Amino acid sequence: MCTAVGETFLSFGMKRIGLENASFWRWFLLVATNPAVLIGVFFAACFFFLYLLTLSWADLSFVMPLTALSYLFAAILAKVFLKEQISWMRWTGILVIVIGIAIVAAEERHQRTVEAPIKTALGLIFGKTGS
């Protein structure tokens, strides 16, 4: 969700700045002082640190697909707050992504449900605790 909120603020701020006929440094100053862009950067940084935290306890192959939920949230926020027109083709693509995320999440849940008792039993048999 942090990613989608951040991207919404970034889009809002950058559309206000546009492609000014200014030098790079003038444009950079406009970007660096735009409140919406700064809020977007803050949310992007929040996402990054939450992502790092999640990677410390979960597999990348599980975490990475979950980050794709930002496509759904970004589309909703873009439609509601930025008044973007989103075609049925984009919504269909987002639905395919959400279905893929559901499959990955279901598989992870199944693995934990099946493997946890086995690991516990092996730990009791061999006197090991933890992973």
Report the C-alpha gap between 9 and 35 in whole angstroms.
Answer: 9
Three-class DSSP category at 13: helix
pLDDT-derived band of residue 112, with 50, 70 and 90 as boundaries? low
pLDDT 10s digits, 24-76: 888 899 999 999 999 999 999 999 999 999 999 888 988 898 899 999 999 99
Number of domain units in the chain = 1
Report the C-alpha gap between 56 and 39 in whole angstroms.
Answer: 26
* Residue 125 scores a pLDDT above 90: no
* Residue 110 scores a pLDDT above 70: no
- Would residue 64 count as lying in a domain? yes
Per-residue pLDDT, 4: 95
What percent of the chain has pLDDT above 90?
60
Q: What is the pTM of this model?
A: 0.75
Per-residue pLDDT, 58: 87
Q: Which amino acid is at 8?
A: T
- Would residue 131 count as lying in a domain? no
Question: Do 42 and 59 form a contact (C-beta atoms < 8 A)?
Answer: no
Return the structure tokens found at 11. Answer: 């889009």
- Would residue 104 count as lying in a domain? yes
Higher pLDDT among residues 123 and 74, named by residue: 74
Domain that holds residue 19: 2-126
* Residue 102 scores a pLDDT above 70: yes
